[in-house]
Each structure stands twice: as C-alpha cells, then as structure tokens.
Amino acid sequence: MEKIKSLNINHISKLPRGPGVYIFYNGRKLLYIGKAVDVRERVSNHFQQPSYRDDIFISKINKIGYIPTASEIEALLLEAKLIKKHHPKYNIVWKDDKNYFYIGITKEEFPKVFLTHQPEINVLKTKSEYTGPFVDGKALKETLKSLRRVFPYRTCNFLPNKPCLWYQLGRCPAPCLTKSKTAQQIPNLKTEIKKETQKDTKNLIKFLKGEKNQVLSSLKKEMKKLSREQRFEEAGRIKRQIFSLEKVLRHSHIIEEETQEKGELENALKRIFKTKKEVERVEAYDISNIQGKEATGSMVTFINGKPDKSFYRKFKIRMEQSPNDTAMLKEVLQRRISHREWPLADLILVDGGKGQLNAAGEIIKNKTTVISLAKREEEIYMEGRRKPIPAKSLPRDVFNLLLSARDEAHRFAISYHKKLRQKAAGL
C-alpha cells in the first residue's frame, strides 16, 4: 500500500486532480475516509458545500491525508482496505455492519461469487472467503460487472442442467456443462473447467483485495510459460485476459460524485414541493399495531437521500389502546416536535392518504412541508393541492427516495412492535 501523504487544511488547492482516497484527521486520529473521481474537488466540496453530516465533524479537521490511484476501481478497493484497517469514527457512525457490502467466494469445486451485508451469517451453508467492507454498493456492483468479463465466475446457488445466458455471454465458466452425458464422455473436461474456475476466482478475490500488480504479474508469467511450451491458444487467452483487465482499469467509471447527485435531488424536491429552502433532511413516519395493542410509531431520517440511523426514533404509543392510526400518528408527531433539540426536517412524509395528511398538518402547523404517501395507489398527497400526484410520475431519484423512506419507516415500526408483543407474551 502506498504511503499516505498529508497537508494542512489551508492547502486544499495542492491536492491532486484525479481518482484516489482522502482522509480527514484530527491530529493523529482518523475521522473519515472517502474516495473520489477528483480528490481536490471532492475535498473542497466537503468544506464549501457541507452536508448536515459534514457539519458534525468538519470543524475538527486539521489535516488531510490522500493517496492518488491510477483508476476509480483502485480508489474503491483502497477505501475498503483503509476502512477495514483503521475503523474511522464517522464512517462507522453512518454505516453499521449490516449496511456495508462484502464479497464472498465459496470454497467449492466450482466457486460461487456473491454479495452479502453480513458475512458472519452463512446463508449458503458453505465455507466461504470474504473481502470487504465496501461502502459504495453501486460502485462495487459496477466493478464486479466489469471484472466478470475478465474473470468469468458462477453466481447460481445450484448448478442448472444446462448452460444459461451468462455462459453464452462469456461471463460464466459453466460448470453445469459437466452434468451432461456428452460432456462426461470428454476426457478431462471437468478437471479443466474446475481448474479454470478456481484460478479465475482466486485472481478475482486477490484483485479485490488490492493486489492488482500481483495478479497482472502472475498472468504475464503464465502467458510466457505457455508460449515457451508452444501452447499458443492458451497463451492467447491469457493475453486477452491481461488486455481486458488493463482496459477495465483505464476506462471503468464507477464512482458517481455525491455532490452532483445531491444537487440534482435537492433541486427536484424543491421544484415538486414548491419550496425555496434546501430539502436535505426528510423524516418519514409510520404506525404499527394489531387492534390497537402494543402500538408503536417510528421516525426515520434520510439526509441528502440516504438513511441516517443516528436520527431514527421509536415511540411506544401512550394513548388509550384503540385501533385509531390517525390519532396515534398525531400523538407521535406531537411528541416529536416537543423535542426542540432535534433538527427540524425540511420535508415530513407520513404513511396514508388525505386523512393522515390533514392530521399531520394540524400538528406541524406550517413549520415545514408535509406530504403523505398512500400505499394502495402509490399516490402523493400535498397540502394545498386537491388531487394526489402518482408517485411513478415523479423523477426516478425522488420516487426512490420517498418510497425508500416510507418503507424504512414501516420496517422500523414493525420491528419495534414485534419486540413489544414478544415482551408482553413473556418470550
């Protein structure tokens, strides 16, 4: 791993223009690690256009470390390696273990490659090797998609009876071929497929652990050895593999700059909900109960389009236990706004239709924008507008944000409700 270079926060203009990893320090203490397509621009945005998250620790930063990389993929892999090694405080605050991504490769005859959030839970009941944690799931999936062209791998849970489309596209070595009667008559076919599958997955996981140079060096040595042995067809395959890997590294664009996404999302929210202020903080609410028993309410918070679990809150309903979701919602909102120390949301989303919108409006009293989202037709109700808006007519990023916030509030309310029911039942 390259040595971390550092500079004072007053010298941001001296940071490199290009992909890499940056590190925020308070003295010797690592606060936060990030990756970027352009390190100088991304670090500058943290200070010039700070998000709510940035405001929590930006004043503590007195030194910036950085490591330039040759590609965006290498920045992604290096970020994962550094987070695993140093456990910086503010990466951990915003990402619990269930939200990080890990890549697993099963230890089988024909290894399978898969993604998971929790490597300690062995869903496949098979011994596996893992690498991670990775913060950016979208970039990781794009990386795997690119690398699958170089190192074809299996993703199916069980070998099918015949090759699928991934084999036709050259993305899978098709160990399922070994199951056919015809293939079983071909000498050494199973041995060859097994050898290639294991070699490719071994190179894949070494590459994902940041061992790019070792992988390329190993492939080049193998190519020269095959050429000396006049096994030119096999040597040609390795040569194409090396070329493809170098091409992936040079041309893969996997990192989407958060500031650009954030700006586009905020502008869309301001336009749709007719507000001049920035819409950075969204709170979503839901009620869970069975005939009024052990009723609970939830509040989840999304900041700049992403869930922030440090601001999640759960409520045990205090009112007389009767199946009245609207009254329960009003209680939760009343208790929420009584906490003046909690930052006020730019947008409040409640589950339901016009009735829930009116109930929420009675409590919030124009302190901020309130909307409701009805499940059945997926329609948005807004104050001052008679007809609802079909959620599917909204821009894709806004649609995804609102449904994600609504569904997360529902999940959080149900999980607390179940816990209370189990407690009441003495379980």
Q: Report pLDDT digits (tens) over 272-294.
A: 888 888 898 999 999 887 665 77
Q: In terms of domains, do 296 and 417 share one?
A: yes
Degrees to nearest 5, angle at CA 346 with 342 and 351:
90
Structural domain ending residue among the three candidates 94, 111, 133:
94
Q: In terms of domains, do 109 and 62 share one?
A: no
Phi, psi of 98 (to 5 degrees): -75, -15
Residue 49 has pLDDT above 80, yes or no: no
Residue 223 lies in a domain: no
Q: In terms of domains, do 145 and 59 share one?
A: no
Q: In terms of domains, do 311 and 409 share one?
A: yes
Residue 261 has pLDDT above 70, yes or no: no
The average pLDDT across 42-62 equals 81
Q: Which residue has the higher pLDDT, 168 or 321?
A: 168
Q: In terms of domains, do 337 and 192 share one?
A: no
Select from 146, 30, 17, 20 the least CA-distant residue to 76. 20
Query: What range defines the domain where residue 204 resides?
Result: 101-209
Q: In terms of domains, do 285 and 420 share one?
A: yes
The average pLDDT across 354-378 equals 91
Q: In terms of domains, do 270 and 298 share one?
A: yes
**pLDDT number for residue 364:** 93
**pLDDT number for residue 20:** 94
Q: In terms of domains, do 296 and 391 share one?
A: yes
CATH number at residue 87: 3.40.1440.10
Residue 233 lies in a domain: no
Select from 402, 376, 417, 401 the least CA-distant residue to 287. 417
**pLDDT tier at 371 (50, 70, 90 boundaries)?**
very high
B/e letters for 106-134, b = 16+ CB within 10 Å, e = fewer, are bebebbbbbebeebeeeeeeeebeebbbb
The average pLDDT across 126-155 equals 87
H helix or E strand, kind and range, residue 304:
none
Record the pTM: 0.58
Q: Could you give the CA distance from residue 257 to residue 43 in angstroms, rounded to a whole number?
A: 11
Residue 97 has pLDDT above 60, yes or no: no
Q: In terms of domains, do 61 and 169 share one?
A: no
Structural domain ending residue among the three candidates 68, 94, 120:
94
**pLDDT number for residue 124:** 59
Q: In terms of domains, do 295 and 401 share one?
A: yes
User: What is the number of structural domains in the chain?
Assistant: 3
**pLDDT number for residue 109:** 87
Phi, psi of 306 (to 5 degrees): -125, 145
Residue written as token pair 């069980």: 158
CATH number at residue 404: 3.30.420.340
Residue 407 lies in a domain: yes
Residue 83 lies in a domain: yes
